[in-house]
Structure 1
Amino acid sequence: MRILLVCVSICIISLLQSCNSSELIENWKNPDIDVFQAEKVLVLAMTSDVKNRKLFEKRLVDLLKDKGVNAVGSDAFFNPEFTSRPRTEEELGDLERAMLSEGFDAILVSKVLGAEDKVTLVQSYRNWDKSVNGFEDDYYAHQGIYVEDEEMQKYTVYHAESALYCICPTKEREIIWKGSIDVTEPDNDRKAIKDYISMLVWALEEQELLIIGPVDY
């Protein structure tokens, strides 16, 4: 039976990857967490491309809401000037406390790192837990993405990462899940975003994170 389930899972993954341009390269889930369902999750995309950031967040928020998740895009919470300059760790601490007061208990962060050398990036991903311990660390380390130039448009493969963080007031704030996804059709922004989100939501649903219930693919 276990072998059959593994075979079915492999078939599902193969089918998903054959139908879109995104591939789940790395996948890590906190071993101390079995199921996680948020009361309210902030969806945050980190990129200097404002148009695609808004499109990504809206599409992901809409899809999560369709699956019963109380999701909110960053524009509904962040001050429009928040990403105009680098923020200090103290300011990010204030941000998390403000989120808690607004009822948020989770943050789903996605960012495009855009590079061609996937081997180097995969190794970098494997070392992530040595330096990133929570949302504040992640945002602080990568907020320069907001003001980068358009160099990433030249890449033939987008390398992107998503991470789910708990900011629960009753326990230590921690990383719940992190995934590394390659998008191999960067010339079509809308399709790349659609395929990335499909893979992201599938990964979360498969592991019962945010989306609790049977997989309906």
Structure 2
Amino acid sequence: MAFDGPGRGSVGAGTRFGAMRVGLTGGIASGKSTVAETLVGLGAVVVDSDKIAREVVAAGTPGLASVVEEFGPSVLTEAGELDRAKVGEIVFADEGARGRLNQIVHPLVGARSAELEEAGRASGALVVNDIPLLVEVGYAPFFDEVIVVDVPVETQVERAIARGMSESEVRSRIKAQAGREERLAAATYVIDNTGTVDDLRSRVKEIYDALTLAASGS
């Protein structure tokens, strides 16, 4: 892959969190979005790679043109936008196709992430890179701290089905992601999301405070 790690932007002197790089990851339906939302409420800037991934293949972008060139016009909706469900069917069932898509999208996401990360640092905020496939694509070594949101596989399945996904679709996506053990091995902070939302938010606050303390050098 041509992209040498996510968000490798320069950092201005005197920022509150210095050069600290924090990654956030978790499997499908783990509760990662709630963690990201809580971090924002505490004052962090969250660079959402999923959101950026949608932006870089929006209608009319060079990214979308590259995806169509690789996979054909069948991946477009009638309105000329990317049919994300169609692409999902292709790439989650074919590792090679998933790799080709990543080669198109990841460099674009990385460049935009770097811009947003640098802007966040300049504001003095803790910047957290929300990357669902952080472990899968080998990005963990690029971060000083890795926050992993963890739940059992069957909990992921139950929650995703409750959101409207089919069981086969959920299990296909889980299979395409890193296993729990692999993800946990990359973690410096683990958030067990098998409790209540209040439990989750309390744990996020603990981690945010710990990162703030570490950044202060105390």
Identify the TM-score tier after normalising by the shorter chain. 0.3 to 0.5
Determine which structure has the larger strand proportion and give its number: 1
Q: Greater relative contact order: 1 or 2 (C-alpha under 8 angstroms, separation 6 or more)?
A: 2
Of structures 1 and 2, the larger Rg is shown by: 2
Q: TM-score, normalised by structure 2?
A: 0.36
